[in-house]
Amino acid sequence: MRTTVPVVVAFLSGFVMVVSFFFNPDRTFIGRAQDVVLQWATIVSGFTLVLGVFSIVRVNGRAVARRSQDWFYKLMTVVSVFAMAIPAMLPVSADTRGGRIIFSILPESWGSLFGTGPNSIYDWLFNYLDSPMMETMFAMLAFYIASAAYRAFRARSADATLLLLTATIVMLWRVPMGEAFLRLFGESVPDYLNTFIMNGFNVAVQRGIIIGAALGAASMSLRIMLGIERTYMGKG
């Protein structure tokens, strides 16, 4: 049963999504079944989010209790989860007009500190801690990207040389200094680059990648529906 039921549910869900695509949702129930399945998927994803938070707290909590390697960072992870979640879910004033159920366990003057509105604890943590850390991480990744680009753009062959020339032209076109330099050869040079490289060769390659990804997604979906692919159950 632990194997059969998930396979049956996956098959029925995928089958309903495929079949309902070919029916008019305004005339038949089968056409509206897609929306019902999507609503159930949203409900299930909410439970999986709660399960994910519980799993993060449990795994990192065990590491903190055992004082394992890097336990301090795991402690910061647990503290961060509760610091972001509790103030966002703990309003302090009742609002009967909006039909919301709100617990009045703290002074009403503290109302602006809770929830997800402006100047709340959640808003302050997101703007002054989470956002700067994400910006720092992406700024550090820029150096690794530049290093990888340097290794990839070595003109060792005709294809690598073509890639190097194209990347150099695109990077020049993307920055104001490079655009000003390209305009020295003609005012319409940046427009030509945009037309023939970005909207021509680039779009053609992107469409090929998208078509390949769509075929791969369709193949994987069919494998899941038929029960061939069971990695979502922790099995090969």
Would you place residue 101 in the very low, low, confident or very high pLDDT band (cuts 50, 70, 90)?
very low
Report which of residues 167 and 74 the model is more confident about: 74
> What integer pLDDT is reported at residue 105 of this predicted model?
56
What average pLDDT does the structure give for the chain?
82
Q: What is the pLDDT of residues 1-38, one digit of tens each?
A: 677 888 888 888 888 888 888 888 777 778 788 888 88
Can you give the pLDDT at residue 99? 47
Q: Which of 214, 170, 162 is nearest to 190 (CA)?
A: 170
Q: What is the pLDDT of residues 109-137, one digit of tens each?
A: 666 677 777 878 888 888 998 899 999 99
pLDDT average, residue stretch 67-78: 90
Percent of the chain having pLDDT more than 90? 15
- Residue 132 is predicted with a pLDDT of 92
Judged against a pLDDT cut of 50, whether residue 96 lies above it is answered with: no
| Rg of the chain in Å (alpha carbons) | 27
Residue 54 has pLDDT above 70, yes or no: yes
d(CA 52, CA 90): 20
Residue bearing tokens 């795991």: 74
Residues 152 and 167 sit within 8 Å (Cβ to Cβ): no
Nearest Cα neighbor of 71 from 95, 79, 198 is: 79
Q: pLDDT grade, residue 68 (50/70/90)?
A: confident
Q: Classify the phi-psi angles of 70: left when phi > 0, otherwise alpha if psi is within -120 to 50, otherwise beta.
A: left
pTM of the model: 0.57
For residues 210 and 90, the model is more confident at 210
On whether the CB atoms of residues 116 and 91 are closer than 8 A, the answer is no
User: For 166-214, how does the pLDDT look when each residue is reduced to its tens digit (9 = 90+)?
Assistant: 777 777 777 888 888 888 888 888 888 778 888 888 889 899 999 999 9
HSE-up of residue 148 (Cα within 13 Å, Cβ side)? 5
pLDDT at 210: 95
pLDDT at 10: 85
pLDDT at position 38 is 87
